[in-house]
Structure 1
Amino acid sequence: MLDRGARPSVTIVICAYTERRWDRLLDVIESVRAQSVAPQEVLVVIDHNAGLYERLTEIVDDVTVVESSGPRGLSGARNTGVLLADSDIVAFLDDDAEAAPDWLQRLLALYDDPDVLAVGGRVEPVWETGRPGYFGEELDWIVGCSHRGMPKVASEVRNVIGANMSFRLEVLRQVGGFNLSLGRQGTLPLGCEETEICIRSKIGSPGSRIVYEPAALVRHHVPADRGTLRYMLSRSWSEGISKAQVSRVVGQKRALGPERRYVRSVLPRAVFSGIRDWGRGDNPQGLGRAGAVIAVLAWTAAGYVRGRRLAHVEGRPLSGTVIARAPWSEVQ
Structure 2
Amino acid sequence: MKVSVVICTYAMERYDVFSECVESVLAQTYEPLEVVVVVDGNDAVFDRVCEEFGDREGVVLHCNDENQGISSSRTRGAKIATGDVVAFIDDDAVAEPDWIAELARVYDETDAIAVGGHAKPDWVTEKPDFFPAEFYWLVGCDERGMGEHMEELRNTYGSNISFYREVFLSVGGYDENTGRKGDRHIQAHEAPVCIRMANRYGKGVIYNTDAVVNHRLFDYRGDFRWLVFRSFWQGYSKRIMDLLLPEAAGDKNDYLKRLMLEFVPIRVRDLVRAPSMPELKQLVAIFVFTGAVGFGYLYGLTQPRRELIGDDA
Unaligned runs of 5+ in 1: 1-7, 323-332
Q: Which residue of 1 aligns with 2:130?
A: 134
Cα 1:52–1:321 shift into 2, 3 Å: farther
- Contact 2:155-2:204 within 8 A present in 1 as well: no
- Indicate the SS of the match to 2:142: coil
- Contact 2:115-2:207 within 8 A present in 1 as well: yes
Q: Which residue of 2 aligns with 1:325?
A: none
Distance in structure 2 (CA, Å) of the matches to 1:314 and 1:33? 43
What do residues 74-109 of structure 1 show as CA deviations (whole Å, max 9, x unaligned)? Answer: 011101101211121100110011111111011111
**What root-mean-square deviation, in Å, do the aligned CA atoms of Structure 1 and Structure 2 show?**
2.1
- Indicate the SS of the match to 2:144: coil
Q: Which residue of 2 aligns with 1:52?
A: 45
Letter in 2 for 1:235: R
What do residues 216-251 of structure 1 show as CA deviations (whole Å, max 9, x unaligned)? Answer: 100000011111111111111111111111111221
Q: Which residue of 2 aligns with 1:218?
A: 213
Q: Which residue of 2 aligns with 1:329?
A: none
Distance in structure 2 (CA, Å) of the matches to 1:83 and 1:20? 27
Distance in structure 2 (CA, Å) of the matches to 1:237 and 1:283? 28
- Contact 1:273-1:286 within 8 A present in 2 as well: no
- In the TM superposition, residue 202 of structure 1 has moved relative to its aligned partner by 1.2
Q: Which residue of 2 aligns with 1:158?
A: 154
Letter in 2 for 1:303: G
**1:106 partnered with 2:99:** no
**Structure 1 stretch 265-274 or stretch 188-197: which is displaced more?**
265-274
- Indicate the SS of the match to 1:316: helix
4+ residue runs over 6 A deviation: none
- In the TM superposition, residue 276 of structure 1 has moved relative to its aligned partner by 4.5
- Contact 1:115-1:209 within 8 A present in 2 as well: no
- Indicate the SS of the match to 2:86: strand
What do residues 192-226 of structure 1 show as CA deviations (whole Å, max 9, x unaligned)? Answer: 111010001111123x3321111110000001111
Q: Which residue of 1 aligns with 2:6?
A: 13
**1:192 partnered with 2:188:** yes
Distance in structure 1 (CA, Å) of the matches to 2:312 and 2:305? 13
Give the number of equivalent residue pairs.
310
- In the TM superposition, residue 140 of structure 1 has moved relative to its aligned partner by 0.3
- In the TM superposition, residue 189 of structure 1 has moved relative to its aligned partner by 3.4
- In the TM superposition, residue 267 of structure 1 has moved relative to its aligned partner by 4.4
Q: Which residue of 2 aligns with 1:209?
A: 204
Distance in structure 2 (CA, Å) of the matches to 1:209 and 1:142? 22
Letter in 1 for 2:296: G
Cα 1:290–1:109 shift into 2, 3 Å: same
Letter in 2 for 1:34: A
Distance in structure 2 (CA, Å) of the matches to 1:12 and 1:20? 22
What do residues 34-91 of structure 1 show as CA deviations (whole Å, max 9, x unaligned)? Answer: 2110343101110111111001111222122211367521011101101211121100
Letter in 2 for 1:240: G
Q: TM-score if structure 1 supplies the norm length?
A: 0.87
Q: TM-score if structure 2 supplies the norm length?
A: 0.92
